[in-house]
């Protein structure tokens, strides 16, 4: 950090001082970051921030002209750009030179099909090299990339792509999961028929050598699509800083997903900041994140190319053939930055694994976790059973900002249960219910000043009404993120769950993560979900538990769970009812869906079951006799 501050000519000696400077002098910070990260641009311009008092409405680098893909394809050497494992079936490596050439060919093919800046290109792909290539080719033209993972059903894809009207759609012929082969072509036929804007479907052979495409209109195999074109220097379209790059989607569990549009410049410079400074990502680092193309962590991972890192892609089940496969991958390929989810870390812990004894993870220096709060006991597990000399960084932000509000820091201590710090130049605070900033107390995570990776718009929201309602309705002029959090005495952040899932028995606000932390320490409990049920004019806490195979919830276990919660929290946290359940519904990025379960328990409709990875699990919560009638 001292070297960075010296380069920026900033007289600070610790992170807290650097953070204060970054939020007090945001224009100087982002201008310095641009130079430090060596952003490639046709023109930057002198003006850094226009309409700084508008939120939303502020404009960063309004005169700049650049291209996102140009910044990710800086290298054209023989170093590894992408390493790919598709379960135990496929292993491939692409050099930076090969990656560049394949993007060049595909960009030419897309231009020949009439794709221009502003057109939408969809990806229905596994987390494989062709997804990266297709995104970069799209971005090089200035078209807009949007992706879903292939485990989405037809309606789930149409709920997303049907709103944005893609001109071209990329799909694999199938994918591997848990040792099984899954076909995508049947779903692709139905998707293609229902998207009238499609002019080209490009299929990547993955599970077969010759996919059957005869009844898919406008379809061709990738190799045939690009074969007329020879790799050459890419004509990167130089576009405005806020030119749309990605369309991302909200989870869609309360209705049709919102289409969140992110700009090229804001995404690029924010990711460079987070990678170079908060992760300390370096050239030739081997950078992994266990994700699908339907989660924003894929977009975050791919930006690692801009720092010269090697992308370590894995597609498939993290537990096939057993729970060590990601650590096998890390050892075999020398992963230095290992990204995963809090649920995965908990699952590895519950499986009784100890990679510190079974794997050589000498090169791994950073472990990143997101998706849900990483509980203190998971910190203990990582340092005891995974690797002792590692920076464990719990990070949190979201699809809404395609980045992080709070995240890691290689020069700060790691405090169990906490995110190490707020992101540089992110004026993040915690507000109480009256909109007053608080420290050491729980409240709403807010951001009180503009930042570059704010969405540039929602799709089909011409007057911005949906955008403003999503983030600025609670506290006008202030971004309210919807997380229930606390700033700790270390100036770190503790996350207690989503604000809309906060429990409120007797008027006392309780974050769901506070209960999960206690319950999931018990050997008998695999995972849990808690809601507030309307009951006799108040709210009562109802806890659902999925137990280890062969176990049944009896009075003894109920009492054990209640004692665990009461002893380590407060009597208010103790559930009024505990119910055993066979499965817990979750989104396709692995997040449990308290609100959908709460709706089912109250007999209310769940508007978009297609958003869930296992929608059938919702049916388990309907008309439970244990809960009676409120």
Residue 363 lies in a domain: no
Domains identified in the chain, total number: 3
Residue 224 lies in a domain: yes
Can you give the pLDDT at residue 256?
81
Q: What is the mean pLDDT of residues 197-221?
A: 95
Of the candidates 235, 253, 279, which is a domain's last residue?
279
Residue 23 lies in a domain: yes
Contacts of 545 (CB under 8 A, 6+ apart): 519, 525, 527, 528, 553, 561, 578, 579, 580, 581
Confidence class for position 146, pLDDT limits 50, 70, 90: very high
Residue 303 lies in a domain: no
pLDDT tens digits, 544-602: 999 999 999 999 999 999 999 998 888 888 999 999 999 999 988 788 899 899 999 99
The token pair that represents 594 in the structure block: 């308290």
Q: What is the CATH number of the domain that holds 192?
A: 3.40.50.12780
Mean pLDDT of the chain: 94
Q: How would DSSP label each residue in 144-203?
A: EEEEE-TTS-HHHHHHHHHHH--SEEEEESEEEETTEEEE-HHHHHHHHHT-TT--EEEE
Can you give the pLDDT at residue 591?
85
Q: How far is the C-alpha of 66 from the C-alpha of 270, rounded, in Å?
A: 15
Contact (Cβ atoms closer than 8 angstroms) between residue 221 and residue 211: yes
**Do both 204 and 171 map to the same domain?**
yes
pTM: 0.91
Q: How would DSSP label each residue in 25-73?
A: SHHHHHHHHHHHHT--EEE--S--EESTT-TTT-EESTT-EE-HHHHHT
Q: How far is the C-alpha of 388 from the C-alpha of 109, rounded, in Å?
A: 49
**Do both 165 and 228 map to the same domain?**
yes
Helix (H, G, I), strand (E, B) or coil at 437: strand
Q: What is the mean pLDDT of residues 272-288?
A: 98
Contact (Cβ atoms closer than 8 angstroms) between residue 115 and residue 121: yes
> Considering only CA atoms, which of 329, 304, 257 is closest in space to residue 84?
329
Three-point CA angle 514, 517, 520, nearest 5°? 140
Residue 541 lies in a domain: yes
Can you give the pLDDT at residue 326?
97
> Considering only CA atoms, which of 55, 30, 5 is closest in space to residue 425?
30
Of the candidates 255, 279, 303, which is a domain's last residue?
279
Confidence class for position 48, pLDDT limits 50, 70, 90: very high
**Do both 110 and 229 map to the same domain?**
yes
Distances (CA, A) of 118 to 134, 245, 549: 15, 9, 51
**Do both 23 and 113 map to the same domain?**
no
Confidence class for position 264, pLDDT limits 50, 70, 90: very high
Helix (H, G, I), strand (E, B) or coil at 514: helix
Other C-beta atoms closer than 10 Å to the C-beta of 554 total 10
**Do both 28 and 142 map to the same domain?**
no
pLDDT tens digits, 165-188: 999 999 999 999 999 999 999 999
End-to-end CA distance of the chain: 56
**Do both 160 and 12 map to the same domain?**
no
% of the chain surpassing 90 pLDDT: 84
Can you give the pLDDT at residue 499?
87
Q: What is the mean pLDDT of residues 317-322?
A: 92
Residue 47 lies in a domain: yes
Q: Residue 22 sits in which domain range?
A: 1-35
**Do both 275 and 245 map to the same domain?**
yes
Q: What is the CATH number of the domain that holds 621?
A: 3.30.300.30
pLDDT at 271 over 70: yes
**Do both 60 and 144 map to the same domain?**
yes
**Do both 124 and 5 map to the same domain?**
no
Contact (Cβ atoms closer than 8 angstroms) between residue 58 and residue 26: no
Q: What is the mean pLDDT of residues 493-521?
A: 87
Who has greater pLDDT, 589 or 349? 349
Residue 377 lies in a domain: no
Can you give the pLDDT at residue 367?
98
Residue 450 lies in a domain: no
Of the candidates 217, 249, 279, which is a domain's last residue?
279
Can you give the pLDDT at residue 253?
62
**Do both 5 and 127 map to the same domain?**
no
Confidence class for position 630, pLDDT limits 50, 70, 90: very low
pLDDT at 415 over 80: yes
pLDDT at 318 over 60: yes
Can you give the pLDDT at residue 97?
98
Distance, C-alpha 100 to centroid of its chain: 26
**Do both 2 and 69 map to the same domain?**
no
**Do both 71 and 113 map to the same domain?**
yes
Largest CA distance in the chain: 71
């Amino acid at each position: 950090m001292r070297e960075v501050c010296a380069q920026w000519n900033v007289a600070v000696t610790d992170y807290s001082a650097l953070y204060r400077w970054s939020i007090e002098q945001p224009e100087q910070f982002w201008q310095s970051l641009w130079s430090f990260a060596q952003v490639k641009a046709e023109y930057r311009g002198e003006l850094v921030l226009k309409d700084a008092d508008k939120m939303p409405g502020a404009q960063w680098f309004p005169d700049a002209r650049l291209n996102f893909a140009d910044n990710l394809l800086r290298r054209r050497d023989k170093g590894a750009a992408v390493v790919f494992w598709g379960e135990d079936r496929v292993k491939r490596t692409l050099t930076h030179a090969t990656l560049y050439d394949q993007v060049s060919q595909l960009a030419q093919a897309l231009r020949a099909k009439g794709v221009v800046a502003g057109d939408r290109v969809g990806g229905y792909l596994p987390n494989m090299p062709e997804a990266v290539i297709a995104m970069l080719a799209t971005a090089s033209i200035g078209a807009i990339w949007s992706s879903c993972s292939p485990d989405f059903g037809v309606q789930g894809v149409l709920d997303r792509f049907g709103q944005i009207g893609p001109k071209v759609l990329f799909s694999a012929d199938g994918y591997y999961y848990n040792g099984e082969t899954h076909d995508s072509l049947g779903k692709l036929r139905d998707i293609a028929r229902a998207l009238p804007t499609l002019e080209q479907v490009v299929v990547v052979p993955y599970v077969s050598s010759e996919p059957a495409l005869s009844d898919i209109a406008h379809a061709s195999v990738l190799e045939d699509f690009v074969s007329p074109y020879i790799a050459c220097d890419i004509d990167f379209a130089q576009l405005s800083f806020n030119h749309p790059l990605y369309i991302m989607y909200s989870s869609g569990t309360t209705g049709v997903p919102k289409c969140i549009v992110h700009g090229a410049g804001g995404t690029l410079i924010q990711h460079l900041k987070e990678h170079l400074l908060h992760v300390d990502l370096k050239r030739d680092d081997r950078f992994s994140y266990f994700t699908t193309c339907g989660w924003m962590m894929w977009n975050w991972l791919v930006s690692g190319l801009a720092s010269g890192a090697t992308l370590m892609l894995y597609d498939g089940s993290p537990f096939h053939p057993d729970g060590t496969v990601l650590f096998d991958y890390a050892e075999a390929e020398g992963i230095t930055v290992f990204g995963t989810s809090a649920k995965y870390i908990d699952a590895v812990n519950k499986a009784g694994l100890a990679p510190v004894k079974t794997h050589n993870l000498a090169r791994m220096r950073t472990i990143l976790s997101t998706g849900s709060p990483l509980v203190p006991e998971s910190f203990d597990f990582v340092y005891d059973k995974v690797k002792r000399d590692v920076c464990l960084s719990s990070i949190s932000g979201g699809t809404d900002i395609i980045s992080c509000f709070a995240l890691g820091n290689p020069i700060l201590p790691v405090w169990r249960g906490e995110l190490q710090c707020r992101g540089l130049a992110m004026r993040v605070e915690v507000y109480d219910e009256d909109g007053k900033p608080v420290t050491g107390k729980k409240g709403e995570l807010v951001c009180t000043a503009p930042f570059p990776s704010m969405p540039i718009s929602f799709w089909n929201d011409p007057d911005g009404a949906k955008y403003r309602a999503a983030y600025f309705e609670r506290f006008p002029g202030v971004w309210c993120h919807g997380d229930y959090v606390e700033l700790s005495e270390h100036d770190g952040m503790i996350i207690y769950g989503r604000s809309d899932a906060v429990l409120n028995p007797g008027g006392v606000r309780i974050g769901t993560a506070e209960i999960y932390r206690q319950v999931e320490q018990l050997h008998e409990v695999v995972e849990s979900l808690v809601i507030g049920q309307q009951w006799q004019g108040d709210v009562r806490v109802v806890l659902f538990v999925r137990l280890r195979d062969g176990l049944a919830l009896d009075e003894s276990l109920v009492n054990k769970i209640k004692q665990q919660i009461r002893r380590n929290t407060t009597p208010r946290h103790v559930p009024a009812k505990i119910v055993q359940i066979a499965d817990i519904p979750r989104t396709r990025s692995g997040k449990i869906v308290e609100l959908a379960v709460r709706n089912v328990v109250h007999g209310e409709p769940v508007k978009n079951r297609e958003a869930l990875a296992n929608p059938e699990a919702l049916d388990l919560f309907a008309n439970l006799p244990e809960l009676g009638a409120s």
